[in-house]
Structure 1
C-alpha cells in the first residue's frame, strides 16, 4: 500500500468534482474546489474520520468494499478505479522489474505487417522493437543507444542524448498527457524498479511541464486515434494510431497506418520504399 500516493490521488480526484456532479448543492460558502471530504465520506458510506486519514496517508489498508464505495463517490473511470486498487495494495501487483524482452512471435509479426509502421514500447516508453517503416517515419532507432530510444524523454526533453530528433508530430501535447499517465501507472505497478523511478525523477527535474502534469495524478488520457507527422521527405502525413496491449509482458504494440488509396497511404508506401535512406534527405 502506497499511502502517500493513495492520499494524493484521492485528493486530486475529489477536487476535480463539482458538487452538482454528485447531486449536491454548490452553496455560496465553498472555499476549496471540488467536494468536501465529509461529502465524499457520506457518498462512500464510510466515516469522515477514516476518509480524512486516507487522504493524509495515515489510514490502514481499506477493504475492497470501501474502495468500491470511494470509487463510486468520486466518479472514477475504470482505469482510475484499477489504479486506486493498485495504490491500496488490493490488486495483484507486479514485483521486481518491468520486462524489456519482446515475444518472438511479435517480432515476426511487425516485420510481416504490410504498409504499416509498427513498434513495441515498454511500460516506460522505451522502443524495444520496430519495423523498417517505423524507422523511416519516426527515427532510425538502430542508430541510437538503447537509452536514447525512450519516447518519454523525446516528448519532454525534445532530443536524445546523441542530439538526434525524432520526427515532429503535431499531437505532442496529447502524447505528453499519455506519457505522464502511463508513467504514473507504471510506477504504481513497479514501485521497486529503479529504472521507472529514475526516469520519473529525471523528467520531473528537467521539465517543468512534466512536473506540472505529474502533480495532477492523472492515470488516463484521451485515446489518440490519429497522429500527424511532418516528415522532411514526404511532408505532412496523417496516420491512424492503434495501440494494442501485450498483457503478458506489460508492453504495447503501436501501429501507424493510413486508409487505402489516400495520399497518406501513398506517402507511407514511398517511405516504405526509401526505408531509412530517407534520413539522408534531412539535411
Structure 2
C-alpha cells in the first residue's frame, strides 16, 4: 500500500470539497478549506481516529468496504474511485450501477441550446435529461424514457433509416454496461426484458458488435411534420459514463425549418423566455 500517496490523495480530495455541496453548514469558524476530518469520518461511517491515521499515513490497509464508504463520502468519480483502491493496494470493486444523475454543467448545456434537440443518456440508455425540443421531436420522454426499449420492444419506433445501425450501437453499449455494472438490478431487469421480448436483440447480442459514438445521419417520421433528416452527434461524459446526444439539421433545409417550428412552438407554449431542461 502506498500509504503516503493514499494519505495525500485523501487530504487533497477532502480539502477540495465545499461543505455546502454535501448539505453541511459552510460557516462554523473553519480555518482550513474543505471538509473537516470529523465530517468525512461521519459521512463514511467510520471512527475519526481511523480516518485521521489514514490521512497521516499511519493506518492499516483499509478494507474494500471502508474504501467504498470513503469514496462515497468524498464524492469520488468512477476514475477517482478506482485510483483510491489502487493506492490502497486493493482490487477495485465494480461500481454498484451507472450514474443516473446529471451534472449541473451538462444540464446547463441543454438549456443553452433551445434550437437543438438534446438528450442525456445513462449507460443503460435511460434518458435522464432532455430539453423541450427533444421531447417535441421524440415524443413523451417522461413515460417512455429508455431508448433501447423504444428500439427493440415498441412497434411505433420513429426511426426509419439508421434503424439497424442503432440496434447494434445500443447492444454494444449495453454489453459494455453489463460488464462494468454486474450488480445493477435495474440493468439486469432491462436486459432480461429485452431478451424475452426481442429475438432481434438476442441475435445482435450474440454477434458481440463493436460500435463507438460518432456522427450519424438518420431519417425520422414525425407524426405532425413527416419525414425529417436528422444529424446525430455524441458528446461523451466519461466521469459519469453518460452521453449527450445532439440532434440537428443541415441549415436551410425543410428539416431545419421543421425543428425551428417545433422550437418556436415549445417557447410559445411556455410563455416565452428561457426553456429549462428536464431531468429525472
Coarse TM-score class (shorter-chain normalised): 0.5 to 0.7
Partners of 1:138 and 1:166 within 8 A in 2: no
CA shift for structure 1 position 109? 1.1
Q: What's 2:236 paired with?
A: 245
* Residues 1:213 and 1:92: Cα distance change in structure 2 (over 3 Å): farther
TM-score when normalising by structure 1 = 0.58
Q: Is the 8 A contact 1:168 1:231 kept in 2?
A: no
Aligned match of 2:259 = 268
1:123 aligns with 2:123: yes
Displacement, 1:124? Answer: 0.6
* Distance in 2 separating the partners of 1:224 and 1:274: 28
Matched, 1:101 2:110: no
Residue equivalent to 1:59: none
Q: What does the per-residue CA deviation read over 1:62-93, in whole Å, with 9 as the maximum and x for residues that have no partner?
A: xxxxxxxxxxxxxxxxxxxxxxxxxxxxx977
Say whether the 8 Å CA contact 2:232–2:248 is kept in structure 1: yes
Decide which of 225, 243, 246 is 2:216's aligned counterpart: 225
Change (3 A) 1:194 1:277: farther
Which residue of the other structure, out of 184, 194, 204, is the alignment partner of 2:185?
Answer: 194
RMSD of aligned alpha carbons: 2.4
Q: CA deviation at 1:97?
A: 1.2
TM-score (norm 2): 0.59
SS in 1 for 2:106: helix
Q: CA–CA distance in 2 between the matches of 1:181 and 1:203? A: 14
Deviation of 1:236 after TM superposition, in Å, equals: 1.0
The match for 1:78 is none
Q: Which structure would you say has the larger Rg? A: 2
Contact 1:228 1:236 in 2 (8 A): yes
Q: Separation in 2 of the partners of 1:149 and 1:155?
A: 11
Q: 1:188 to 1:254 in 2, by over 3 A?
A: same
Equivalent residues in 2 for 1:198-209, closer than 5 Å: 198-209=189-200
Secondary structure of the residue aligned to 1:238 is: strand
Partner in structure 2 of residue 156 of structure 1? 152
Deviation at 1:169, TM superposition (A): 3.6
Residues 147-176 of structure 1: CA deviation (Å, up to 9, x unaligned): x311101100016xxxxx553442221111
Q: Could you say which residue in structure 2 is the equivalent of 1:24?
A: none
**Cα 1:174–1:110, aligned 2, differ >3 Å: closer, same or farther?**
same
> Separation in 2 of the partners of 1:169 and 1:102?
30
1:141 counterpart SS class: coil
